[in-house]
Amino acid sequence: MKSWFKQWTALSILGLMSPLFTLGSSGSETILFNEKVLPLLEEYCYDCHGDGAKKGDFAMDELIALGNVSKHSEKWDRIWKNIYNRNMPPANVPQPSDIEISTILSWIEDASFGHNPNYYDPAHVVLRRLNRIEYENTVQDLFGIEIDVKNYFPADDTGYGFDTIGEVLTLSPLLMEKYLGMAEIVMEETLGPIDDKSLRHRFKPNDLKGGSEQDGMRVLASKGSLSLTFISSQEGQHTVKVKATASLAGDELAKMSVAVNGKQITEFSIDAEYPNKKEYVFTFGAKPNFSNQITLTFPNDFWDPKNKDPKRRDRNLFVESVEISSPEGVPQNVIMTRMHLLGKWKTEEIGDEEAKTSFDRWLPRIYRSPLDPSQFERHISLYKKMKQKGLNTLESLRQTFKAALISPNFIFREEKKLKVNPSTQPRLLDEYALAHRMSYFLWSSVPDDELWDLATQGKLRANLREEVKRMIRNPKIDQFVKNFCGQWLQLRDLNLVNPNPAQFPTFSEEVRELMILETEKFFKHLLVENLPLELLLSADFSMINQELAKYYGVSGDFSNDFQKVVFRGEDLNQRGGLLTHGSILTITSNPTRTSPVKRGKWILDNLLAAPPRDPPPGVTELEEPNDSDFKKLTIREQMAMHSRSPTCYSCHASMDNLGYALENFNAVGKWRDHEGGKSIDVTGKLSSGEKFTGVRELQRFLKENKKQAIIRCLAQKLLIYGIGRGLNFKDRVVVDDVISIGKQEEIKLADLVFKVIQSKPFQLSQ
Amino acid sequence: MKITRRSALRGFGVSISLPVLESFGRTGFSEIPLRMGFTYIPNGVIIDEWRPKETGSLGKLPESLQPLQNYTKDFQLMSGLDHTKAYANGDGGGDHARANATFLTGCQAKKTAGKDIKIGVSVDQIAADAIGDRTKLRSLELSCDGVRKSGKCDSGYSCAYQYNLSWKTESMPMVPESNPRLVFERLFGNASSPLDRKAQLKRRALNKSILDFALESAKGFNNRLSKMDQDKLDEYFSSVRELEKRIEREEKNGAQISYLHRPEGIPDNYQEHLRIMFDMMALAFQSDSTRISSFLLAHDGSNRSFRDIGVPEGHHSLSHHKNDPDKIKKLALIDRFYSEQFAYFMHKLSTMKEVDGSRLLDHCMIVFGGGISDGNRHRHSDLPVLLAGGKAHGLANGRHVDYGSVPMTNLFLALLEKFDIEAKQFGDSTGVLRGI
């Protein structure tokens, strides 16, 4: 009777809002809603949001009664998000199954967003410019140089947690300026100095160690030395010019004794009287790629404060600058880079023919796609124009490549579509674009020759699996590990935290580095060995070295190199799995104490993709209480008092309880059994009644009960990072598809990465 | 936009760098340019320790502003300035991102983690559009945050909102520079590879032709793009044109200041970092390399700790003090720390002399303030605001005025007015703040 009544009401509601389901003329949507969807909403939502209940000022039955679902899509969107992120229904009430969730979500997508599930719309990926890491890797790989770009460009903005999102990668005038400057630097590194003239390195007072600064010079007022470090790239005789002066006192001139790499070379008597300067010249032989220490010593200080002439009282040595000229000719590193770019290195052998061949070979690589003839011609004519201006071949080449490096075709990653069957939408990316999506995804750089050649032959898709495997085994995969984990797991933030050294004296800069390496190497191990994802939490091993083992208090013999260590006995209670990594435990702490809230939030955000709802505006974020007696309580006891506040409870219960289980780790990831003399309670209890004690049980709980959520989360993050946009409801089915690798068998990391590359949003373009 | 006497200056071929400045001032006091600067304090302040309760002329300052006591004749304090667009207004959490984004724009940030970021043009960029072409750099943006936080920023807002003060368009922030050495090189050239004047001119000519080439490439590129991507390419066009103009402006001067010391990279110590960035702003003003600058001392929500002054806790987590006296005390120490650094800047500006002997400070209007008044409750009304300098332009310093409750943007309109830039309305402004 009741169910008949409900059906009737539902029908009558739907009847009232006849224009509601504009999609279906047959009324099949009505029946679907009626028979499949409404009962689920009633069962899972109406306790709080229906039949008179209006929790959070929201009644679902009232929304349904409004009809015209597409007109209220904003409200339905919120419902969709809450269900998709598993924020609703809350954990303390019965949960819908994945299939039931899917039923509700696809109905909303259809009725409210007008989504046709049979047609996948890959959504527009806004033109992405290279971020500063990609730029650095790209020019290094293209030109075979080593160069620091990252610290020259301003920071890239991030969106959806990553710095690969076209929409927020803006191009400010400042950056344009830097592109021009960097193009110059890149080409100077690659082709060497103009006309093979010797390179001059100038050291200013600032660049010299020792003495003090006065009047824009470095001064030695008493016995002592000035020193500088010069890295020679070339072999041969280097000429050094020291611009110096000295004040006169006593009966001899100031001396300047010169030593290179500890060996004395010569000694000058400084006959230029202050403030007149003079150049003192000497030479020394250098090896290529060698760090030379040059020392200028002032051995004969003299001071006579009683001299009648105040100008004759003090003998000091002043140095204004040191200029080092490398020998003439092409330096060794430039020989290599010229060979790479031009196939020849001797300046006189490089002519128009070499220039043309080089453009032919490298411009497509720079622009990530073959050039059409007119485009190519434009470059040739720029080159010719440069020569007409009187520039020599190398200079003209340099300017033409510079022009390429500031062109939008280089700075932005245009993704072309396959030229077959242009009427079908969406279309597959062409193989060049696919190759670049893959290489920027896995290497943060351009394709290597092998990948490029596959794209040229149109055989990339046919060999996709082998190619992905090969790319993962390539050392450049470190870039993916660094950049993806750096942002997904927030490892980059470890460089921003500053634990209080008074409380945590063992946390050193070295430990900071090692912690990041541990997590990176651990992730890389799972990836390269293609191990099951669940090991992220359940691994009984980690990658550590001697220093980190000592820091963690893990027993055994270790070396300075990182190695895979399987934990045993007591060690196993404390270590193994991401949530025992010092990196993550430290990132999620405050400078002076742990923060169960932040730790819980980190798990929800980054592992479960179920971010807690934003704190209400005006109310403090991650609010933690403080009363005068509080300091005597453990963090947990303080938190518990706070969570009594009903406005905060519902969200905090989910975050804090996850964090409590990690309280055995202090704010810098070290194990502790006590806090302030009290033993620590590490049980966490979710509102659904599930309990876990300590990190091992928490990790087991997550692994067993949240398996799907974790895999889904990782798939989402990989997609966002790889394709460069946020996900929307249209991607739900895609994500489900990506993570559906064999329900029975375990999902492995490299397989998941492959599935992401294989997925529609990665392969298609709007 | 109306430009008065200053537009005449361009006709004289006014040179920009320091040494030439000497000759520049001889024509008289009135032609010394006016500058504007904005410096941002994160996470609000303990207002009772920061601003005196009484209005009127400034006497003894509260503890947090003590470092500025010697300068009371050179600044004014303002109460009752609001940024109502920094409140949620239906957008939920994210007050830090909003405070930061609204500060110079007076607009409501569109809540998005990436897609369609949108806010509004900031006051400094309105000024730069009007007068930026008179100097080598249109404007100069500085920050001490060289890297972005990874993961989510603030409650669903893209990090772009939280790390940029200055917005050239609704969707394009002017990304700040945090490395003092790079700022210096932008201002005065790269001193380590000195080029003679002829070589410089040659390089500029070449750069101009390759920029032309790149613009030509962009046109071809543009034809293939969709509407959304064309917006992206518009950024490219406008930035390239900006660069071309800049190169032209450089040609008119080009002298390098070789006797100034090029700073090394980013100092480890925060105080040193702040001070050297303040040095850069002062140098930029003094050399008339730009007349407009903004400086994000730290992004809002920053959890930096201040061990040197006995505050090892994170600033943001402390700022939610819940009236704990101990925390309030520590927060006031941080506020005082920022005041000390600002005092350093004021000292610098007051010791730098213009050609007529007047102080550089008198030709600058510097706002020192933040987008949150009470960090504990994320209030965006009655913000902490100090306006320094501007004596030569009649700013009524030495007092504390309570404006009741008016938009902060009204103050910005008043600053624009001092530049003879007519902007009737901007952000949420309701009129020009009178009597500053």
B360 contacts B352 by C-beta, under 8 angstroms: yes
pLDDT at A22: 38
User: What pLDDT band is residue A117 in, cutting at 50, 70 and 90?
Assistant: confident
φ and ψ at A102, to 5 degrees? -60, -40
pLDDT at A312: 86
pLDDT higher for B75 or B26? B75
Measured between beta carbons, which residues in chain A are less than 8 angstroms from residue B43? Answer: none
Residue of B nearest to A615 (CA): B93
User: Is the pLDDT reported for residue B191 higher than 80?
Assistant: no
Mean pLDDT over the full length of chain A: 88
pLDDT at A647: 61
Question: Which tokens is A230 given?
Answer: 């010069």
Which segment of A227-241, A634-648, A690-704, B52-66 scores lowest on mean pLDDT? A634-648
User: Is the pLDDT reported for residue A380 higher than 80?
Assistant: yes
A267 contacts A258 by C-beta, under 8 angstroms: yes
pLDDT at A630: 53
* Chain B (147-166) residues lying within 8 Å, Cβ to Cβ, of chain A: 147-156, 158-160, 163-164
pLDDT at B132: 93
User: Is the pLDDT reported for residue A613 higher than 80?
Assistant: no
Residue A479 CA: distances (Å) to CA of A165, A411, B149 = 17, 19, 18
User: pLDDT of B104-143, one tens digit each?
Assistant: 999 999 999 888 899 999 999 999 999 999 998 999 999 9
Task: Tell if the CB–CB gap between A158 and B194 is shorter than 8 Å.
Answer: no
Cis peptide before A761 (omega within 30 of 0): no
User: What pLDDT band is residue A73 in, cutting at 50, 70 and 90?
Assistant: confident
DSSP SS3 for A675: strand
The closest CB to that of B312, out of A403, A592, A615, belongs to A592
The closest CB to that of B117, out of A151, A167, A175, belongs to A167
B380 in reach of chain A (CB within 8 A): no
Task: Tell if the CB–CB gap between A151 and B150 is shorter than 8 Å.
Answer: no
User: Is the pLDDT reported for residue A632 higher than 70?
Assistant: no
* Min distance B4 CA to chain A CA atoms (Å): 27
Q: How many CB pairs under 8 A join A and B?
A: 267
Average pLDDT of span B256-269:
70
Kindly state the DSSP code that residue A142 receives in the 8-state scheme.
Answer: H
Average pLDDT of span A183-197:
84
User: What pLDDT band is residue A2 in, cutting at 50, 70 and 90?
Assistant: very low
Q: What is the pTM of this model?
A: 0.85
User: pLDDT of A388-399, one tens digit each?
Assistant: 999 999 999 999
B94 in reach of chain A (CB within 8 A): yes
Kindly give the residue spans of alpha helices, DSSP state H, lying in A45-172.
46-49, 60-66, 73-84, 98-111, 132-143
Residue of A nearest to B88 (CA): A617
Task: Tell if the CB–CB gap between B114 and A171 is shorter than 8 Å.
Answer: no
User: Is the pLDDT reported for residue B1 higher than 50?
Assistant: no
Task: Tell if the CB–CB gap between B158 and A725 is shorter than 8 Å.
Answer: no
User: pLDDT of A267-282, one tens digit each?
Assistant: 999 999 988 999 999 9
| B172: number of Cβ within 10 Å | 25
The closest CB to that of A614, out of B93, B206, B216, belongs to B93
DSSP SS3 for A628: coil
User: What pLDDT band is residue A291 in, cutting at 50, 70 and 90?
Assistant: confident
The closest CB to that of B225, out of A127, A173, A205, belongs to A127
Q: How far apart are CA A457 and CA A439, in angstroms?
A: 17
pLDDT at A447: 98
User: pLDDT of B354-366, one tens digit each?
Assistant: 988 899 999 999 9
Share of chain A above pLDDT 70, in %: 90
B194 in reach of chain A (CB within 8 A): yes
Task: Tell if the CB–CB gap between B117 and A487 is shorter than 8 Å.
Answer: no
Average pLDDT of span B278-301:
95
User: pLDDT of A199-245, one tens digit each?
Assistant: 788 888 888 888 888 888 999 999 999 999 898 877 888 999 999 99
Which segment of A743-752, B297-306, B386-395 scores lowest on mean pLDDT? A743-752
Highest mean pLDDT among A233-237, A425-429, A667-671, B200-204: A667-671
The closest CB to that of B221, out of A204, A408, A617, belongs to A408
Task: Tell if the CB–CB gap between A158 and B148 is shorter than 8 Å.
Answer: yes
B312 in reach of chain A (CB within 8 A): yes
User: pLDDT of A437-453, one tens digit each?
Assistant: 999 999 999 999 999 99
Interface test with B, best of A75, A87, A156, A158 (most B CBs within 10 A): A158
Using a 10 angstrom Cβ sphere, with 0-12 exposed, 13-18 middle and 19 or more buried, the burial of residue A522 is: buried
DSSP string of A435-460?
Answer: HHHHHHHHHSS---HHHHHHHHHT-T
Measure the CA dihedral A261/A266/A271/A276, to 10°: -30
pLDDT at A9: 40
Measured between beta carbons, which residues in chain A are less than 8 angstroms from residue B207? Answer: 180
Using a 10 angstrom Cβ sphere, with 0-12 exposed, 13-18 middle and 19 or more buried, the burial of residue B261 is: middle
Share of chain B above pLDDT 90, in %: 65
B118 in reach of chain A (CB within 8 A): no
Residue of B nearest to A727 (CA): B115
Which segment of A88-97, A686-695, B65-74 scores lowest on mean pLDDT? A88-97
Task: Tell if the CB–CB gap between A159 and B159 is shorter than 8 Å.
Answer: yes
A326 contacts A292 by C-beta, under 8 angstroms: no
pLDDT at A642: 62
Task: Tell if the CB–CB gap between A490 and B168 is shorter than 8 Å.
Answer: no
pLDDT at A514: 97
pLDDT higher for B188 or A186? A186
B327 in reach of chain A (CB within 8 A): yes
The closest CB to that of A154, out of B156, B176, B320, belongs to B176
Task: Tell if the CB–CB gap between B158 and A171 is shorter than 8 Å.
Answer: no
pLDDT at A195: 61
Average pLDDT of span A8-36:
53
User: Is the pLDDT reported for residue A46 higher than 50?
Assistant: yes
Residues 6+ apart with CB under 8 A from A550: none
Measured between beta carbons, which residues in chain A are less than 8 angstroms from residue B141? Answer: 174
Kindly state the DSSP code that residue A434 receives in the 8-state scheme.
Answer: H
Q: How far apart are CA A603 and CA A587, in angstroms?
A: 12
B377 in reach of chain A (CB within 8 A): yes
Measured between beta carbons, which residues in chain A are less than 8 angstroms from residue B317? Answer: 590, 595, 622, 624
Which segment of A557-571, A634-648, B331-345 scores lowest on mean pLDDT? A634-648
pLDDT at A654: 77
Mean pLDDT over the full length of chain B: 87
Which segment of A563-577, A708-722, B145-159 scores lowest on mean pLDDT? B145-159
Interface test with A, best of B179, B317, B318, B329 (most A CBs within 10 A): B317
Average pLDDT of span A398-421:
91
Strands B385-389 and A290-298: unpaired
User: Is the pLDDT reported for residue B263 higher than 60?
Assistant: yes
User: Is the pLDDT reported for residue B250 higher than 60?
Assistant: yes
User: Is the pLDDT reported for residue A20 higher than 50?
Assistant: no
B269 in reach of chain A (CB within 8 A): no
Q: What type of residue sits at position A723? A: I
| A589: number of Cβ within 10 Å | 24
Question: Which tokens is A47 given?
Answer: 């306790």
The residue whose two tokens read 């590359």 is A757
B178 in reach of chain A (CB within 8 A): yes
B174 in reach of chain A (CB within 8 A): yes
pLDDT higher for A68 or A302? A302
User: What pLDDT band is residue A675 in, cutting at 50, 70 and 90?
Assistant: confident
Task: Tell if the CB–CB gap between A180 and B192 is shorter than 8 Å.
Answer: no
Average pLDDT of span B164-183:
94
pLDDT at A4: 40
